[in-house]
Amino acid sequence: MPHRTFIYFILPSLLSMILLIAVPIFSAMTQSLFIAHKQVIIVSETCDPFGCKKETSVDAEATANLRVKEPLGIFNGFETYTNRNHLAAAEIKTSWNVATGWKDFFSRIMNLPFYKALAFTITYTIVVTPFVIVLGFLIALGTNSLASRLKGPTIFFSLLPMIVTPLIGSLILFWMIDADGIIGSTLQRIFNDNDLSLKASPALTWIMLIVYGIWHSTPFAFIVFYAGLQTVPHETLEASMLDGASLWQQKRHVVIPYLMPLIIFVTLIQLMDNFRVFEPIVGFNASANATSLSWIIFNDLRGEDALQLFGSAAATSMLTIIGVGILLIPVLIKIWKEFNSKTV
Amino acid sequence: MIVAVFPFLWTLWGSFKVQGDFFSKADWENAIYGIRTLAETGGTFTGNGYSNAWIEHEFWRSAINTSIVVFFVVISSLTIGTLGGYALARSGYRYALWLLMLALVFRAMPHITLVSGYLLPFFQWNLWGHLPTTIIVLVAINQPFTLWMLHSFFLNIPKELDESALVDGCNRFQAFWHIIIPVMWPGVITTGLFSFLLAYNDFAVTAMLLSQENQTMVPKIASFLGSTQQEGEVMSAVAAVVSTTLPLFVLVMFFQRQLVSGLTAGAVKG
Amino acid sequence: MKMLSKITLTSTFMFLLVHATYAACGINSGSIRILANDFPAIHAVLSAAEKCAGGGVTFTKNTTKEHRTLVVAGLTANPAEFTSAVVANSSIVPLLNEGLIRPLNDLVAKHGRGLKKNQLITINGKIMAVAFMANAQHLFYRKDILDKASVGIPKSYEEILSAAKAIRAKGIMEYPFALNTKTGWNLGEEFINMYMGYKGQLFKPGTAIASVNNAKGVAALKMIKSLTEYSNPDFLTFDSNATAALWEAGKLGLATMWGTRGGTILDDKGSTSNITSNTVLASAPTVAGGSTPATTLWWDGFTIAKNISDKDAEATFIAMMNGISTEMVKANNNEAVWLIEGFVPGKASAGVFASASAGATPYPMLPYAGLLHSALGSELTEFLQGNESAQQALADVEAAYTASAKEKGFL
């Protein structure tokens, strides 16, 4: 396709992405390299409904004057990335020197907020993604072989978990898994343990969040694979049947290679979305036991203490993008290879 | 399947009860028998949650807002997405792949940071709180996904189809419009479905970019829960959740027939 | 002729009537745009303020949980997106830091005659906000449960511990106590409250250096841990909605909850009359033999943005004065502990009043308090889960705080 036609076709899409995604990413990147100017603190007499006292406050005008010359702030380089709230380079070095063994070193690192979040995020991504793909594929295969009258309702029901927005879906489930709710008390009855509470133990909270993630994302894989299954060329399938291939061999050697682009697509999307998980953590009030990278950002920007840490959030966002990039490397290599083989 | 459906059935049942029952910490079976509902409203089922949400809190306004937003997001998304996806699939040059990779990087950015970055410029240029702003933001944020999905579907359509059209004297756009789109229908529907769901269910963007008057349904539900959950308000939220999900059920039921027939038609044509 | 004069008369009458209604607020033009948090007391105030709309005065309000995210960006724009922001001790701080609100001295002199002195929030003599309600966390107890366990009304947290022990020993309740210990803001607040009971200093005086890792901090932490041993194991998910729900379901005998919950708990919805009639609100407990209640006092009030026209500022001020009028208080007496003339204290406000009279400290309006609060909320969880020592937890808090404070330019 000539370059000019290409540009015309892709221009609106590209423009919207550049304006609304690329520019903010660039601005976040810049912001993460700066910290605020020193605030000018003065002591003043503060009176409120409960009395007067001398307290420190910020001299807004003086501070604003400092900022006029350098509105971005003081250049901090990558310090924000290596401070305790992010990669914590100094703390890791100290821990390495002080730790009494691998286990101790490991637990010291888990004490750092970023790594605690990273642990959960990676676990979540690594567990949920394959489950979603496999389950979605199996359900799509199953639905495909159903009688056509049953297909409709099955598709419909299987799509349900994806339809509800995560924030509300997880809230509903939160109410249900509470120790006094229907799922919570049923579990207590099954395991015969009155103290069993999904919210109290970190391991159980992680499992609950992972199960929720699988429940919520499987329909996506299902519908994409199902759509793809409709386009598998019948001739190839029939040819393999004539060759005496078993059902499983058919699937493995005909269907899966054919669906490979879609499988790659779903893997891509799932890896990215699972790495950015945070809505279930908020919905399930699970931040005591599980935090994720996006949750840290959420906390920095929408934390309830009214002071927004833009630089910190920007740094964590950049780290998230880098993390996603690292995760995607195997998939991207495969795409690159396929693209090259196609153009050759 | 039961696993998939059960939470919704439970919520549906509970939306006709009072907060004291559905969220009973005393005994969850209250939700089934509706003891407190009987005590507080005189019947084991009550439409209070629904009337509170729809009439007193004018949830119907949010429903209209959602319809507007969703309609425009889907149309815009599909329009620019099909154009872009087609170009990326047919390009054959390496820069198409780079663009796709770049789109992936774009998609990796957490939405909250993006939206927080928008706030100051939007306030300054008086763009905050208007529906068109939210529509454009939703379209843009979802472009990477749309492009990838459509480009995947387009790759599966044999090149010979539009190449023969080009040979016949059509320009690219005519080839696109007359030959490819009819065959693309299943891919368009599937991508349209995802765009629809994204716009319908979005919370991060709509909660921060819309003013209280033109909130869509999901942030409105969150506002029912509010900073402190008030009695009766929680049930409005539950009723609103059910009201939000029901049209989706209906739509999916309707579209799923289209989807299946469109997909099989595509397979036959292919 | 007769008809025409009738029409003229009626229309003049209508005209005057309409104008009379609009003249009730005394504003004839302006744009009022309010941003506020989302709870019933604020709704009451804003509905009363909304009556000033009409006849050239436009009124929009945004009550949302996201107000803290929107407020700084919204008021920085010029013209500001909002003409007024409803704030509390903690949320006024970023507005003060960035210089986004204007002093109200002249507006108060002109339109605020009816305001009581303790409603004015002043910094160095400049009135920066007008407060209209107060709130605090304090003790709730169930008289019948305490009687059953034969314990007296606890006045200190040590007495609460023994009361809880007795309740559990008598088999009345396994987990009789709760406080708002949800990881995050709530947990940070509980620590700060307890620390205040020990008369601790959050920062080294006159500086932004945190100083919680000391004997008092450790004692406060250990007290909270002992209290959570009498709480349901899910206590790290307990925000004020959860504790109120537990109370109304009759699962608690003692709790530390926000005073504003009193109204909802004492009403006749959502709970049984046995629970409601036996619920008593009392002052926050003291601790370690001190005399200061282990709680912090909060106020909510409104501010006026700086980056707006003086006309809008005046219109907004008048509307908000209308919103916090005595009529509004009379109509919504039990929604909050109003600081306004005409408020009649009742059972629901007993706890806040008692705590304030006993000398509780207000939540510090320091520019960097929010950062420490946030650090406390995230880093104390591991100690409460039994995974690290109190000293380690507090050291983590100080480290996390120092990193954020450096980023914000306080250190």
DSSP per-residue letters across B151-217: HHHHHTS-HHHHHHHHHTT--HHHIIIIIIHHHHHHHHHHHHHHHHHHHHH--HHHHHHB-GGG--H
For residues C175 and A197, the answer to whether their CB atoms sit within 8 Å is: no
Q: Which residues of A256-282 are buried (b: 16+ CB within 10 A; e: fewer)?
A: eebbebbbbbbbbbbbbbbbbbbbbbb
Give the mean model confidence (pLDDT) for residues B148-177. 78
> What whole-number percentage of chain A has pLDDT above 70?
93
Residue B153 class from Cβ within 10 Å (0-12 exposed, 13-18 middle, 19+ buried)?
Answer: buried
- Cβ neighbours for A290, distance < 8 A, ≥ 6 positions apart: A120, A202, A205, A206, A209, A281
**Mutation choice for B interface testing from C81, C174, C252, C266 by most B CBs within 10 A:** C81
Tell me which of A60-69, C100-109, C110-119 is least confident.
A60-69
Closest CA to A11 of B83, B95, B142: B83
Question: CA B30 to CA B199: how far, in whole Å?
Answer: 36
CA distances from B133 to B126, B129, C76 (A): 10, 8, 20
Question: CA A312 to CA A117: how far, in whole Å?
Answer: 15
Q: Say what the pLDDT of residue C140 is.
A: 93
Question: CA B143 to CA B152: how far, in whole Å?
Answer: 14
Pairing of strands C30-36, C84-88: parallel
Tell me the sheet residues that pair with C126: C123
Residue B231 has pLDDT above 70, yes or no: no
Question: CA A153 to CA A167: how far, in whole Å?
Answer: 26
Residue C5 has pLDDT above 80, yes or no: no
Residue spans of alpha helices (H) in C170-289: 185-197, 215-228, 240-248, 261-266, 273-278
Q: 3-class SS at B45?
A: coil
Residue C314 has pLDDT above 50, yes or no: yes
HSE (CB half, 13 Å, CA atoms) of B104?
Answer: 27
Q: Say what the pLDDT of residue A333 is.
A: 85
Question: CA C66 to CA C84: how far, in whole Å?
Answer: 15
Q: Say what the pLDDT of residue B31 is.
A: 64
Is A177 within 8 Å of chain C by CB? no
pLDDT in tens, A110-127: 888 899 999 999 999 999
pLDDT band at C9 (very low <50, low <70, confident <90, very high): low
Give the mean model confidence (pLDDT) for residues C161-184. 91
Residue A21 has pLDDT above 70, yes or no: yes
Q: Which run of H or E residues covers position C58?
A: strand C57-63
Give the mean model confidence (pLDDT) for residues C170-184. 90
- Number of CB atoms found within 10 A of residue B223's CB: 24
CA A112 to chain centre: 19
ipTM for the predicted complex comes to 0.84
Q: Say what the pLDDT of residue C139 is.
A: 93
Spell out which residues of chain C touch residue A286, defining contact as CB-CB under 8 Å. Answer: 237
**Mutation choice for A interface testing from B21, B28, B78, B236 by most A CBs within 10 A:** B28
Interface list for C 5-64 with A (CB within 8 A): none
Residue B27 class from Cβ within 10 Å (0-12 exposed, 13-18 middle, 19+ buried)?
Answer: middle
Q: What is the mean pLDDT of chain C?
A: 88
Pairing of strands C57-63, C30-36: parallel
Whether residues B223 and C64 touch (CB distance < 8 A) is answered with: yes
Backbone angles phi, psi at C306, to 5 degrees: -90, -40
Q: Say what the pLDDT of residue B265 is.
A: 46
> What whole-number percentage of chain C has pLDDT above 90?
47
Residue C20 has pLDDT above 50, yes or no: no
Per the model's pLDDT, the better-predicted residue between A289 and A244 turns out to be A289
Structure tokens at A12: 């609106």
Given C362, C374, C396, which is nearest A111 (Cβ)? C396
Q: Say what the pLDDT of residue A48 is.
A: 86
Spell out which residues of chain B touch residue A14, defining contact as CB-CB under 8 Å. Answer: 84, 99
Tell me which of A292-301, B121-130, C9-18, C268-277 is least confident.
C9-18
Length of chain A: 344
Closest CA to A230 of A161, A155, A160: A155
- Cβ neighbours for A205, distance < 8 A, ≥ 6 positions apart: A198, A199, A284, A286, A288, A289, A290
Q: CA B113, B117, B97 angle in degrees (round to 5)?
A: 65
Q: CA B21, B23, B29 angle in degrees (round to 5)?
A: 55
Tell me which of B21-30, B94-103, C328-337 is least confident.
B21-30
Residue C21 has pLDDT above 60, yes or no: no
The amino acid at residue A45 is E
Whether residues A80 and C93 touch (CB distance < 8 A) is answered with: no
**Mutation choice for C interface testing from B133, B228, B231, B233 by most C CBs within 10 A:** B228
- Residues of B at the C interface (Cβ-Cβ below 8 Å)? 18-20, 23-26, 36, 40, 116, 119-120, 123-124, 128-129, 207-208, 211-213, 222-223, 226-232
> What whole-number percentage of chain C has pLDDT above 70?
94
Q: Which residues of C269-304 are buried (b: 16+ CB within 10 A; e: fewer)?
A: bbbbeebbebbbbbbbbbbbeeebbbbbbbbbbbbb
pLDDT band at B44 (very low <50, low <70, confident <90, very high): low
Given B40, B213, B230, which is nearest C264 (Cβ)? B230
Whether residues B105 and A343 touch (CB distance < 8 A) is answered with: no
- Number of CB atoms found within 10 A of residue C54's CB: 15
pLDDT band at C22 (very low <50, low <70, confident <90, very high): very low
Q: Say what the pLDDT of residue C219 is.
A: 94
Angle at which helices A113-144 and A102-110 cross, to 10°: 90
Residue C322 has pLDDT above 70, yes or no: yes
Q: Say what the pLDDT of residue A130 is.
A: 93
Question: Distance from C326 to chain B by nearest Cα, in Å?
Answer: 24
Question: CA C15 to CA A179: how far, in whole Å?
Answer: 63
Backbone angles phi, psi at A77, to 5 degrees: 60, -140
- Cβ neighbours for C179, distance < 8 A, ≥ 6 positions apart: C137, C190, C224, C227, C228, C231, C235, C238, C243, C255, C256, C257
Per the model's pLDDT, the better-predicted residue between C166 and A175 turns out to be C166
Q: Which run of H or E residues covers position C366?
A: none
CA closest to B250 among chain A residues? A156
What is C126-186 written as a DSSP string? EEEEEEEEEEEEEEEEEHHHHHHTT-----BHHHHHHHHHHHHHTTS-SS-EE----TTHH
Q: Say what the pLDDT of residue A10 is.
A: 86
Q: Say what the pLDDT of residue B267 is.
A: 39
Whether residues A56 and C402 touch (CB distance < 8 A) is answered with: no
Give the mean model confidence (pLDDT) for residues C4-14. 58
Whether residues A84 and C400 touch (CB distance < 8 A) is answered with: yes
Whether residues B227 and C61 touch (CB distance < 8 A) is answered with: no
Pairing of strands C84-88, C296-304: antiparallel
pLDDT band at A162 (very low <50, low <70, confident <90, very high): confident
Q: Say what the pLDDT of residue B263 is.
A: 46
Whether residues C64 and B207 touch (CB distance < 8 A) is answered with: yes
Per the model's pLDDT, the better-predicted residue between C105 and C206 turns out to be C105
Q: CA B136, B137, B138 angle in degrees (round to 5)?
A: 90
CA C396 to chain centre: 28
Residue spans of alpha helices (H) in A60-201: 60-69, 79-82, 89-98, 102-110, 113-144, 148-163, 166-177, 182-191
Q: Say what the pLDDT of residue A159 is.
A: 74
pLDDT band at C2 (very low <50, low <70, confident <90, very high): low
Residue B266 has pLDDT above 50, yes or no: no
Residue with tokens 């454009």: B136
Residue with tokens 């605090």: C136
Spell out which residues of chain C touch residue A308, defining contact as CB-CB under 8 Å. Answer: 69, 72, 94
- Give long-range contacts, CB 8 A cutoff, 24+ apart: A206-211: A206/A120, A206/A123, A206/A124, A206/A289, A206/A290, A208/A177, A208/A284, A208/A286, A209/A124, A209/A277, A209/A280, A209/A281, A209/A284, A209/A286, A209/A290, A210/A123, A210/A124, A210/A127, A210/A128
Tell me which of C19-33, C147-161, C204-218, C258-272 is least confident.
C19-33
Q: Say what the pLDDT of residue C225 is.
A: 94
Give the mean model confidence (pLDDT) for residues A22-51. 86
Q: Say what the pLDDT of residue B204 is.
A: 83
The amino acid at residue A131 is F
Structure tokens at A84: 């305790």
Question: Distance from C246 to chain A by nearest Cα, in Å?
Answer: 10
CA distances from B25 to A12, A269, B30, C273 (A): 53, 39, 9, 16
Residue C297 has pLDDT above 60, yes or no: yes
Give the mean model confidence (pLDDT) for residues B99-118. 86
Per the model's pLDDT, the better-predicted residue between A256 and C320 turns out to be C320
Question: CA A112 to CA B205: how far, in whole Å?
Answer: 30
Q: Say what the pLDDT of residue A278 is.
A: 84
Question: CA A225 to CA B166: how far, in whole Å?
Answer: 32
Q: In angstroms, how far is the first alpha carbon of chain C from the final one?
A: 82
Residue with tokens 């729809």: B54
Residue B186 has pLDDT above 80, yes or no: no
CA closest to B113 among chain C residues? C69
Q: Say what the pLDDT of residue B41 is.
A: 64
Whether residues C74 and B123 touch (CB distance < 8 A) is answered with: yes
Residue A341 has pLDDT above 80, yes or no: no
Given C61, C246, C270, which is nearest B19 (Cβ)? C270
Q: Say what the pLDDT of residue A125 is.
A: 93
